[in-house]
Amino acid sequence: MSDKEEQDQSMNDGPSKPAMREALVAAAFELFLERGFEQTTIDDIVSLAGVGRRSFFRYFPAKEDVVFPDHERSLAEMTEFLESGSGEEDPVRHACDAARLVLRMYAEQPSFSVQRYRLTRKVPGLRAYELSVVWRYEHTLAAYLRGRFADRPDGPLRADVIAAAVVSAHNHALRTWLRSGGESDWVAEVDAAMGFVTGTWSDRPAEAAEGESDDVVVLVASRRAPLWRMVRGIESALGTDARQV
C-alpha cells in the first residue's frame, strides 16, 4: 500500500480502526508462532495484514507492544476504578478488586492469552517487557494505597508492601490459569489469591455472610460501560459486596 493510499484510508478509517488494530495483532501472532518473534519483522507483519508501516506505528510504538495490545486499556480501567472509590471502602479490598480487572482482561481472550504466555516464556526480551508492564500496575496500586495510608507513620512502607503482595497474588492466580491452558476456574483462582492478601493485610474483619435474598435487581447500562462500573451499580443496588458477580 502506497503512502498516498494509506493516507486516504486513514482519513476514513474511524469505524475500522479497531478492526485494523486487531488485524495487526492477528498477523503478528500468526508470524510469531510460525517463524519466531526475533525472526519476524514489522515489514512482515504489515505485509500479512495488508497495511502500511505507518498504520502499524499508529497503534504500536514497537514490535514488543503488539504482544501486549490490551494493557494500556487495562491500566486505564484500573486507574479509573481505584479513583472511583468513595474513600470509605477497605483500601486493601479495593486494591484487590482492581487487580481482578486485569485477570478478567486476560480471561476475555483465553486462547490469545495462552498463546502470549507461551510466547513470552520463549523470548527473554518479551519477559523483560512484561516485567515493565507489571511494574506499572504495581506502581498504580502503590500510589493509590499511599494516599489511603497517608495518615499512618508506616503508610509508604505498608502501601508498597501491599501493592507488591496484590500483584504477586494476582500473578500466581494468572499463571495457574494460563498453565492450565485457560481451562481452570480463573474466578476461583483469583478469589483465593485475593482472599489471602485481604486476610493477611486488611485491618477490617471480613463481613459476615448475609442470608440469601429473593430480590431481583435489573441493571441498565451502556454496552460500552466497563464491567467494573456495572458491578459497582449492582453493589449499590444490593447494598453489599458483589465481587463474585
Residue type, 211: G
Give me the pLDDT at residue 203, please: 86
**With contact defined as beta carbons under 8 Å apart, do 107 and 186 qualify?**
yes
Give me the pLDDT at residue 70, please: 86
Give me the pLDDT at residue 150, please: 96
* Ordered alpha helix ranges (H), 60-123: 71-83, 91-108, 110-122
The distance in angstroms from the start CA to the end CA of the chain is 46
**With contact defined as beta carbons under 8 Å apart, do 92 and 202 qualify?**
yes
Return the C-alpha cell found at 179: 498453565
Return the C-alpha cell found at 221: 447500562
**With contact defined as beta carbons under 8 Å apart, do 165 and 201 qualify?**
yes
**With contact defined as beta carbons under 8 Å apart, do 103 and 178 qualify?**
no
**With contact defined as beta carbons under 8 Å apart, do 189 and 176 qualify?**
yes
Give me the pLDDT at residue 87, please: 87
Contacts of 186 (CB under 8 A, 6+ apart): 103, 106, 107, 173, 177
Q: What tens-digit pLDDT sequence spans the chain (245 residues)?
A: 444 344 444 434 433 566 888 999 999 999 998 999 999 999 999 999 998 899 899 999 999 999 998 888 899 999 999 999 888 999 999 999 999 999 999 999 999 999 999 999 989 889 999 999 999 999 999 999 999 999 999 999 999 999 999 999 999 999 999 999 999 999 999 999 999 999 999 987 665 333 344 454 555 455 556 665 666 666 555 555 444 43
**With contact defined as beta carbons under 8 Å apart, do 28 and 59 qualify?**
no
Measured distance CA(184)–CA(182) in Å, rounded: 6
Measured distance CA(2)–CA(207) in Å, rounded: 62
Return the C-alpha cell found at 230: 456495572
**With contact defined as beta carbons under 8 Å apart, do 158 and 145 qualify?**
yes
Give me the pLDDT at residue 219, please: 54
Q: For cell 501486549, what's the residue?
A: 68
Measured distance CA(32)–CA(25) in Å, rounded: 10
- Predicted structure pTM score: 0.75
Contacts of 6 (CB under 8 A, 6+ apart): 51, 52, 54, 55
